[in-house]
Amino acid sequence: MSHIGRPGEPDKRTLRRDFLTMRNRLTADDLRETSAALAGRALELPELARAGTVAAYVSVGSEPGTLALLDALRTRGVRVLLPVLLPDNDLDWGVYEGEGSLARVQHGGRMALFEPAGERLGPDAVTTADAVLLPGLAVDTRGMRLGRGGGSYDRVLARLERAGARPALVVLLYDSEVVEHVPEEPHDRPVHAVVTPSGVRRFGREA
């Protein structure tokens, strides 16, 4: 386990840069293999096995691949919600109807995202999810997640809290991204589990 983030630790911006550098070294074969392994591990989660609705996302670039998992959930009959990035960085949601239902959307100078092309359900749709799959760059031994810094999922977590919704919060990462400690801020909330290609680790919540 890595020991990034001890006292005197790098700030979030530095950590994000370091983790993104590591991801960018991955080959296409690495991405294919980890995507399949990640889907297999995630599908074993009881939280997903009993979920009627799962809020997820479409991986881009060198993120741990999610499409195999999205298709497997949909095959199980799970209603899969995918985010639509709004101009203020908040997230709207739409239903995943298969890879052909995705639209490639360029948001300014950022990396293009794949978003559901169908009906928009509103930002509060995420409160209906039984499980929420979160992107991230790292998670520590307490379940604290290091995101990309855009704040979109901070808003999602705050919305869930305001609504009194208690879905399982699961972050999808590579094995090397489970670390000793990441910096946190008062608004940060721990996730309940991390799924990596080699297994699942839980934080303070039983299945």
Bind-site residues for ATP: 12-16, 145-153
Binding residues for substrate: 58, 63
Tokens 């910096």 sit at which residue?
183
Task: Name the DSSP class of 156.
Answer: H
Distance CA 116, CA 98 (A): 9
Helix axes 28-43, 67-75, angle to 10 degrees: 30
Question: 195 Cβ partners below 8 Å, 6+ apart?
Answer: 38, 41, 42, 45, 170, 171, 172, 173
> Which segments are annotated as binding site?
12-16, 58, 63, 145-153
How far are the Cα atoms of 59, 148, 156, 180 from residue 183, in angstroms, in the given order? Answer: 24, 13, 20, 10
Q: Are strands 79-85 and 168-172 parallel, antiparallel or unpaired?
A: unpaired
| Count of C-beta atoms within a 10 Å radius of residue 96 | 24
User: With contact defined as beta carbons under 8 Å apart, do 32 and 65 qualify?
Assistant: yes
